[in-house]
Structure 1
Amino acid sequence: MSDNYERLIPATVAFDERGTPMSPAFGDVYHPAWGALEQARRVFLHGNSLPRRWQGKDSFTVCETGFGLGNNFLALWQAWRDDPQRCARLHVLSFEAHPFARQDLGRILAGSLPQPEKALASQLVAAWPPLLPGLHRLEFEGGSVTLTLAFGSVARLAKQACAEVDAYFLDGFAPRVNPDMWTRGLFGQLVRMANQGATAATWCCAGEVRRGLRDAGFLVSKAPGFGGKREITVATLRPGMGRGHAARPPREPALVVGGGLAGAGIAQALALRGHEVTLLDPVFAGGLGASHRGHIAAAMTPVISRDDDIRARLSRAGVSRALQRWQGLPGDARPWRCGTIELVPDAREASRCRDALAYLGFPDDWVGWLDAPEASRRAGRALACAGLWFADGQRVQPQALLEALLYHPRIHCKVGRAARLQTDGAGLWRALDAQGKELASAALAVLANAGQAAALLATVPGVPRLPKVEAIYSLAGQVSYYSGGETASLRAVLAGDGYCLPPVDGRSVGGSTYLQDAAVSEVTLQGHLEINKKVAGLLNVVPCRIGQLPGPGDGWAGWRAAVSDRLPVIGPIDDVPGLWLACAYGSRGLSWAALAGDVIAAALDHEPLPLERELLRRISPR
């Protein structure tokens, strides 16, 4: 249960008498009249000794306390592009309580920037996320430049962010109108995230700000100002404070156990960052996508809850990550963003859903309410009831997706079943078969083998007892395939009690069944009958009108691994360096796959994490 929901209030477009963008809510301008980019270069870059301080480094992280129109980010990005000695990877974490809508941001930036920054602004606007509270990870330059946007109040989100910061841009509105951006509590959170030698710079010279930085742990001084500002404030973290340099070298080789969606998501995220990845699973004897061979299609859809609980926030983050990661894939591997209609046939439940939408205030182009005629139009067939519309709902072809994710020069798929996992004490993990023969080894190990993770983890000496992992259980289940009939015209995912997907090459998928304590997972007549009833309910027809009852070969069966709270288990094993878990995805393997990969890879490579600390705690193996 999440009890601290904050509705996101977008910024509104306004200008002062000189044409400078301003915030009516705070009565302050976003930048001085003499220029946003000039301020960014002179105050924030020069005040933090950039680009000199990032030169020759593998990565460098900047944290900004007010994104505004993004001018500081654009100036920083352009300076990185212009520097032949730039760091290999530049990461930016930026807080914004009142973000602009995409079209407003694009309109303002288009008329105020010189050509180099204007070209970067076009990329920024194209990648701009929907205005939803929480963290949004954007990637540019093939992933070499990342921007993690924290939408919501800085007082709350600064406590939730995870980053290892080298430089701070303190750029909130003036303390007299926006004091929350300059509190000692906030400065304390900045120190929590700071690396040794971290610096800060701001145009603000108020005595209370300088004292707050000093009390938090910074050595504070003044530097000459310009453009009407006599002085600016610069600061350096006191010696002995902050995070030390990472002991592990960057981009170490990794061993991932498990060749399904969980393992593929992790392998791709690591490989994209330069890690060599060995993926181990006996299923590869049948090919890269063999774990989902014959699985025609599956659905991926976010969920909402009235209080925006943990599951809803994780689901939202997961679907967003999948969109970022997978929309560039070729052909059938690219998920089709067709949208999902979650049908709500009960009038009382419909009222609750509409009340939740009003309370949450999410943008209509992300989730909205459809009456029955509009739902029917979007579905491509007549529907009997209204429902929720999720624009980011997707139809995925799992086998093609797996083949594309794993077809990467740094990913090496190997046939083998790990029976034991050992570490040699020198930082090397070794996977052994039942006879004790080494199958693969690497400096990092990730167990992404679903229901088998607990047993393999138990073979590792020194692993603390993990009741959550020990309680993972497996569920068998099947889907059914339909040709023609009532499903042929579907253009969106239908969900409710069960689901039905738009057809792939003339065949639609309906689902699904859940069988606990099953000895095998197989397609059965009883399963077809159960699914037939669910699909008929969604389509508002009698079961016999769906089409010919699927036969033994007209479906697919597999396993799900889950824990009682239906959240995934993702994170490091305490006190066992280099060992990670990514399992218990339940029926949302697609929703968690890309997100888990980026959570693990970002932590290993010292990037800002794409999830809040509260969410990371809830999915940790502990």
Structure 2
Amino acid sequence: MSDNYEALIPARIAFNEQGVPLSAVFGDVYHPQWGALEQAARVFLHGNRLPERWRAKETFTVCETGFGLGNNFLALWQAWRGDPCRSKRLHVIAFEAHPFTREDLRSVLMNSVPEPERALASQLIDAWPPLLPGLHQLEFEGGKLTLTLAFGTVARLARQASACVDAFFLDGFAPKVNPDMWTRALFGQLVRMANAGATVATWCCTGEVRRGLRDAGFLVSKVPGHGGKREITVATLRPGMGRQCSPCPPQDDVLVIGGGLAGAGVAYALATRGHDVTVMDPVFAQGLGASHQGHIAAAITPVISRDDDIRARLSRAGVARALHRWQGLGGEARPLRCGTIELVPDSANAAIRRESLERLRFPGDWVRWMDGAEASERAGTRVDSGGLWFADGQRAQPQALIEALLSHSRIRCMVGEASSLRRDNAIGWVAMDSRGNALASAGQVVVANAARAVDLLSVVPGIAPRPKFEAMYRLAGQVSVYSETHVESPRVVLAGDGYCLPAQHASFVGGSTYLLDAETCEVTPEGHAEINKKVAGLLNVIPSRLARSSQSGDGWAGWRAAVADRLPVIGHIDEAPGLWLACAYGSRGLSWASLAGDIIGATLNQEPLPLERELLRSISPR
């Protein structure tokens, strides 16, 4: 098991004799008897001088060290939405070592909070994520309010979080029962995230806590308390400390080079944040979704590993962002959340997988083991082994998805191929064709054209060598399309050695092949034969039945770009301000596309980032 892994232990509902929610782990109440919302208003909002401090600002960020039942968040949300002079956007990042399940959260909140907070609580409960360790980003108010939940111990996750914070709600359990929430190391991490002038409010008034805040860099005061609490603590970051930063203006336009899944995912995430985006690709001469024309279906599926490694955590985050971002799309662009069964026919490997599930302790509503009988019933076809059931597995239609993403009103698509980029201090970046003619310009540019990104970056002056990125390679691959006339498709994504997807319009997709050093990328009879064997094994049919169900031209072929560690390359080029990369997605373009867009968009707009810092480092251009 990785040294960094922490199994998540959910909170359990308990109440004291007065009926106040109580932590069974720490033996302390979640809020005073005189009321959670009143405490939020009097201690945390008033103590941080809210709502006055967010007024007329583009964005405002709050960090809470103990989310608990979410009462402080609900009070903050209600105060913000009720203020006509509120900031345009509000971001909240909150830590919670022992989160409640959705059912327990509902049972407490819906019976304790009054209207109008109850209506907000209902939205929070509906959006509540599965109890998986790491960061979970939720959106409300059309994306103008974000809540980034950090599930795990604050001692570890405070080091991993990235945010530009204006106000802190220190709301952990009492220092005597939960000292990790009040350490000087934690206060140091808060200062790392703090904007200039950041404030702190907390009910805790012990001398040790006040001295810790002071030593970290805050000017600390005691002010009158409420409800029997004589004093509370407030603080302001010392002058000269904190980030002197402002978000990238929404009107700052962006050029995205590449009109496939990578480019479309980035463009859509930026457009939803108010940026005007130009997407450039020569393939647009054949239509918006031409990069995946004929690619009728593909899978979006998370993975797990024994030690919850980097790739597994990135996959989990990417699938969650895709589910969150794309389920609101209409028609065939909306992925089908059908679930995935990853078959594990080998008994030794099955034992390892089941042991991993026990050690990881992931919630059963996200992943669990299915025996062969249950897997067969769920899939709608007989399978010979058990496997892992991922409830969030999805079937997407890439061409329809790309067309929908690129149809956003703030996105303009143009036919063209950039051969070079140059920095212009007046306008940002200029993309030029092979003759040196300017094609398009923008304040920010995102290079998202797969393996061609290496050549494009190589001609940008002043860029340092990046060995991993420059060693990017291409793989050709194909999928096959089958008619249900002879073979019935599964009702889920069925994976193992190859994969098979649920049908749409009486046809279904199976895959796939991987050809390194291929000179061409095309559908071939040899590719069909290889895929037929894989799909036949999954569906328990003879390959000849699949051969009768597919014609030689029924399929799709495309290139994949990857680097040695098979992780995507996403992030900014430090020595070239305004230049970003989003490429090397390999065979998981659908898993990374939305996540990459939100990483770039959140960084540009000074929002809390949706990934831990160690994960961001693992995918940064290098």
Q: For the superposition of Structure 1 and Structure 2, which TM-score range results when normalised by the shorter chain?
A: over 0.9
Q: Could you say what secondary structure the match of 1:209 adopts?
A: helix
What's the offset of the Cα at 1:486?
6.2
Q: Could you give the per-residue CA deviations for residues 289-325 of structure 1, whole angstroms, max 9, x where no partner exists? A: 1111111100010000010000000000000000100
The answer to whether the aligner puts 1:276 opposite 2:276 as a matched pair is yes
- Pairwise mapping of residues 93-172 of structure 1 onto structure 2 (< 5 A)? 93-172=93-172
Q: Could you say what secondary structure the match of 1:450 adopts?
A: coil
Determine the C-alpha separation between the residues in 2 that align with 1:534 and 1:32.
60
Determine the C-alpha separation between the residues in 2 that align with 1:435 and 1:607.
39
Counterpart residue number, 1:236: 236
Counterpart residue number, 2:26: 26
Counterpart residue number, 2:90: 90
Counterpart residue number, 1:210: 210
Determine the C-alpha separation between the residues in 1 that align with 2:483 and 2:550.
9
Counterpart residue number, 1:374: 374
Counterpart residue number, 1:464: 464
Deviates more, 1:399-408 or 1:538-547: 538-547
Q: Could you say what secondary structure the match of 1:348 adopts?
A: helix
Contact 1:277–1:410 (Cα < 8 Å) also in 2: yes
Contact 1:60–1:91 (Cα < 8 Å) also in 2: yes
Contact 1:570–1:621 (Cα < 8 Å) also in 2: yes
What's the offset of the Cα at 1:361?
0.2
CA gap of 1:487–1:181, structure 2 versus 1, over 3 A, is farther
What's the offset of the Cα at 1:45?
0.3
- Pairwise mapping of residues 59-458 of structure 1 onto structure 2 (< 5 A)? 59-246=59-246, 248-458=248-458
Q: Could you give the per-residue CA deviations for residues 428-457 of structure 1, whole angstroms, max 9, x where no partner exists? A: 101111111111110000000001001001
Counterpart residue number, 2:554: 554
What is the total number of aligned residue pairs between the two structures?
A: 622
Determine the C-alpha separation between the residues in 1 that align with 2:540 and 2:125.
42
Determine the C-alpha separation between the residues in 1 that align with 2:3 and 2:433.
47
What's the offset of the Cα at 1:489?
4.1
What's the offset of the Cα at 1:551?
2.5
Contact 1:485–1:546 (Cα < 8 Å) also in 2: no
Q: Could you say what secondary structure the match of 1:28 adopts?
A: coil
Q: Could you give the per-residue CA deviations for residues 335-388 of structure 1, whole angstroms, max 9, x where no partner exists? A: 000000000000000000000000000011100000001000000011111110
Counterpart residue number, 1:527: 527
Which amino acid counterpart does residue 494 of structure 2 have in structure 1? L
Determine the C-alpha separation between the residues in 2 that align with 1:548 and 1:13.
57
Determine the C-alpha separation between the residues in 1 that align with 2:247 and 2:143.
23
Determine the C-alpha separation between the residues in 1 that align with 2:563 and 2:550.
31
Q: Could you give the per-residue CA deviations for residues 519-558 of structure 1, whole angstroms, max 9, x where no partner exists? A: 1110000000010111111122221133516323200000
Which amino acid counterpart does residue 263 of structure 1 have in structure 2? G
CA gap of 1:141–1:179, structure 2 versus 1, over 3 A, is same
- Structure-2-length-normalised TM-score: 0.99
Which amino acid counterpart does residue 370 of structure 2 have in structure 1? L
Counterpart residue number, 1:15: 15
Determine the C-alpha separation between the residues in 2 that align with 1:254 and 1:489.
42
Q: Could you give the per-residue CA deviations for residues 6-64 of structure 1, whole angstroms, max 9, x where no partner exists? A: 00000000100000001011000000000000000000000000000000000000000
What's the offset of the Cα at 1:334?
0.5
Following superposition, which runs of at least 4 residues in structure 1 exceed 3 angstroms of deviation?
A: 247-251
Contact 2:484–2:549 (Cα < 8 Å) also in 1: no
CA gap of 1:571–1:117, structure 2 versus 1, over 3 A, is same
Contact 1:485–1:547 (Cα < 8 Å) also in 2: no
What's the offset of the Cα at 1:468?
1.3
Q: Could you say what secondary structure the match of 2:259 adopts?
A: coil
Q: Could you say what secondary structure the match of 1:20 adopts?
A: coil
Determine the C-alpha separation between the residues in 2 that align with 1:464 and 1:487.
53
Contact 1:310–1:615 (Cα < 8 Å) also in 2: yes
Query: Structure 2: where are the runs of 5+ without partners?
Result: none
Q: Could you say what secondary structure the match of 2:274 adopts?
A: coil
Which amino acid counterpart does residue 160 of structure 1 have in structure 2? Q
Counterpart residue number, 2:615: 615
Determine the C-alpha separation between the residues in 1 that align with 2:297 and 2:110.
41
Determine the C-alpha separation between the residues in 2 that align with 1:3 and 1:283.
46
Which amino acid counterpart does residue 404 of structure 1 have in structure 2? A
What's the offset of the Cα at 1:247?
7.8
Determine the C-alpha separation between the residues in 1 that align with 2:70 and 2:17.
22
Determine the C-alpha separation between the residues in 2 that align with 1:510 and 1:168.
50
Q: Could you say what secondary structure the match of 1:115 adopts?
A: coil
CA gap of 1:204–1:316, structure 2 versus 1, over 3 A, is same
Counterpart residue number, 2:537: 537
Contact 1:569–1:585 (Cα < 8 Å) also in 2: yes
Contact 2:300–2:394 (Cα < 8 Å) also in 1: yes
Determine the C-alpha separation between the residues in 2 that align with 1:273 and 1:473.
33
Which amino acid counterpart does residue 465 of structure 1 have in structure 2? P
Q: Could you say what secondary structure the match of 1:601 adopts?
A: helix
Which amino acid counterpart does residue 581 of structure 1 have in structure 2? L
What's the offset of the Cα at 1:135?
0.1
